[in-house]
Chain A
Amino acid sequence: MNTQNHRSANSTSMVEAEYDPEVTLRLIASLPAPDGIENRVIANIRSAPPSRRVLNWPRLVNPTESWLRTAAAAAIVSVVLGGGWGVYSRIQPISTVALPNAGTAGGFSNAGAVRVPQTIPTPVVTKPASGQPAAAEPAKKATSRDVAGAHRQAAHKAPAHPQAAVGR
Chain B
Amino acid sequence: MSTSQAIYAGWMEIANTTVDEMARGQVEEATLEALVNQYASALYRVAFSVLRNAADAEDAVQETFLRVLRHRDALDEIRDRRVWLIRIVWNIVLDRKRRAKTRPETDDVDELARVLPSRGLSAEQHAAASQHHKRVLACVDKLPSKERQVLMLSAFEELSSVEIAGVLGITESSVRSRLFRARNLMAEMLDHARSLR
Contacts and interface: CB of A to CB of B under 8 A. Distances in A.
B41 A8 contact: no
B133 A48 contact: no
Most B CB contacts (10 A, CB to CB) among A31, A34, A42 go to A31
Contact of B58 (A21, A34, A42, A51): A34
Interface residues of A, number: 32
A60 to B, nearest CB: 9
B40 interface: yes
B49 A48 contact: no
Given A24-B116, A45-B36, A12 B49 contact: no
Interface in B78-123: 112, 115-117, 121-122
A137 interface: no
B155 A25 contact: yes
Interface residues of B, number: 53
B176 interface: no
A25 B129 contact: no
Given A41-B36, A45-B32, A48-B66, A24 B124 contact: no
Interface in A11-61: 11-12, 14-16, 19, 21-22, 24-34, 37-38, 40-42, 44-45, 48, 51, 59
B112 A28 contact: yes
Interface of A: 7-8, 11-12, 14-16, 19, 21-22, 24-34, 37-38, 40-42, 44-45, 48, 51, 59, 64
28 contacts: A8-B128, A11-B122, A11-B124, A14-B125, A15-B129, A15-B132, A16-B194, A21-B139, A21-B186, A21-B190, A22-B151, A22-B154, A22-B155, A24-B116, A24-B137, A28-B48, A28-B155, A30-B45, A31-B48, A31-B115, A37-B41, A37-B44, A41-B36, A44-B62, A45-B29, A45-B32, A51-B69, A59-B20
